[in-house]
Amino acid sequence: MNFNCEKTCSNPELKDILALISKKLALASPTPHLDAELILMHVLKKPRHWLYLNHKTRINFKQKQKILKLTKERTKNRLPMAYLTGVKNFYGLRFKINKNTLIPRPETELLVDEILRALEIIQHPKNRAANNRSILIADIGTGTGCIIIACAKNIKDKKHLSFIATDKNKKTLDLARKNLKNHGLEKIIQLKKAGLLAALSKKNLKKFQYLIISANLPYLSARKYQKTQPEIKHEPRQALIASDSGAGLIKKALTQIFKIKQQLASLNIQAFFEIDPGQRKLLKRFIKEKQKSSPCLSSFNVQFKKDLNQRWRLLKLSSDKLKKSQK
C-alpha cells in the first residue's frame, strides 16, 4: 500500500486511496473505514461492492482531489458524513440531507415502528368499527420528512388515510418536498409551513376519527448541547435545543394535543414523541398535572419505551382503547 500516494500519485489505485484516507479518518472518526467507503462511493458514484471488485482501478486526479478535500472536511472540521455526501439512509430508505435539517438517526426508527404498530391495531379486523373510519397522520417538525415518508412507504393500504407534515422553516420544507418527490409521495403527503400543531384546525380535524401524531422535536437542554460531540455542532441549533431542560417544545405540543381533545372529545388521538432519556420523570409529572386539572384528559394512557440501547427514548400518548392484534 502506497501511503505516499497523496503527493506522489496523480492517479492512485482505489485500494491505496482507500487505505490512505482510512488512516487519516481514524484521527477523527470512530468508524474510519466506513467513512472512507462512503466518501469513495459518493465521489465515484458507485456502490460499496464495486469498490472491492475493482480495487485495482485507478482514479483520476480530479477524483483524488475531491476525495482528499472531503476527507479533510471530515477530519479537520468534524463535518458529519451526511453533510459531506448530502444523503442519509433511514428505515431502509435514502434521503437528501443539507445543513438546514437535522440528520436522521437510527434511534428515531423506533418512532416509525411504533406508529406502524399503532396503525396495524387500528386497522385490525377485531376493530371492525374502526376499519372504515378516516385517519390523519401528522408529522410535526418534519425536517427531512424521513419519519412520515418511512411510515407512508410501509403502509400498504392507504385507504381512509391522510398525511400532513409541518415545519416552520421554509428551507427545511423545500428539502422535505424533494424527498417526497424522490419517493413518489408528493401527491399523498401534504406539506404545511406551520409550527407544531398550528396547521391542524378544529374544522379540519372534525373530518377524522383518528389522529396519529409523530414528533421528533428539539429536546436537548443548552447544557447538554455544550457537551455533545463536535459533529452535532454542525447541525442546526434550533433543531436541537429547547427550553425547560429541553422539554419546552414537547410540553407545548402536549398542551396543544390536550386542547384538541377538550374541543373534540370523540377524536381518538395517539401521539409519539422522541425524548431525551432524562426527561421521562419530568414529562410524566407534567402530563399527570394536566390530567388532574381537566378530567376529560384522564382517558389518555401514557407509556415510555426504550430504544435498542435500553434508554428511555419514546413517549406514547393514547386516548383510544382498541384491541391489540394477536400474532
The DSSP bridge partners found for residue 302 are 317
- Kindly state whether residue 9 falls inside one of the protein's structural domains: yes
With CA atoms as reference, report the closest residue to 251 among 222, 223, 224, 271: 271
Look up cell 488512516; give the residue.
Answer: 23
Which cell numbers hold the place of 265? 372529545
Q: Are residue 130 and residue 14 in the same domain, yes or no? A: no
- Kindly state whether residue 114 falls inside one of the protein's structural domains: yes
Residue 326: what pLDDT? 44
Q: List, in sequence order, every beta strand (DSSP E) within the chain.
A: 87-90, 93-96, 135-140, 161-167, 189-193, 210-215, 268-274, 301-306, 312-318
- Domain-terminating residue out of 77, 103, 132: 77
Which cell numbers hold the place of 254? 402536549
Mean pLDDT of the chain: 91
- Kindly state whether residue 136 falls inside one of the protein's structural domains: yes
- Domain-terminating residue out of 14, 48, 77: 77
Q: Is 44 helix (H, G, I), strand (E, B) or coil?
A: helix
- Kindly state whether residue 323 falls inside one of the protein's structural domains: no
- Kindly state whether residue 86 falls inside one of the protein's structural domains: no
For residue 182, pLDDT over 50 is answered with: yes
Residue 46: what pLDDT? 95
pTM: 0.90
Q: At what angle do helices 146-153 and 109-122 cross, to 10 degrees?
A: 40
Domain span including residue 187: 93-318
- Measured in residues, the chain has a length of 327
Q: Are residue 11 and residue 102 in the same domain, yes or no? A: no
Q: Are residue 106 and residue 61 in the same domain, yes or no? A: no
Residue 3: what pLDDT? 45
Q: Give the percent of the chain with pLDDT over 90.
A: 84
For residue 287, pLDDT over 60 is answered with: yes
Q: CA angle, 163 as apex, 82 and 266 as ends, to 5°? A: 135
For residue 7, pLDDT over 80 is answered with: no
Find the mean pLDDT for residues 96-113.
95
Range with lowest mean pLDDT among 114-128, 143-157, 268-282: 114-128
pLDDT, one tens digit per residue, over 32-81 is 999 999 999 999 999 999 999 999 999 999 999 999 999 999 999 899 99
pLDDT, one tens digit per residue, over 203-251 is 999 999 999 999 999 999 999 999 999 999 999 999 999 999 999 999 9
The DSSP bridge partners found for residue 215 are 140, 273
Residue 293: what pLDDT? 86
Q: Give the percent of the chain with pLDDT over 70.
A: 93
Confidence of residue 325 (pLDDT cuts 50, 70, 90): very low
Structural domains of the chain, count: 2
With CA atoms as reference, report the closest residue to 73 among 34, 120, 24: 24
- Kindly state whether residue 301 falls inside one of the protein's structural domains: yes
CB 123 within 8 A of CB 142: no
For residue 310, pLDDT over 60 is answered with: yes
148 vs 326: which has the higher pLDDT = 148
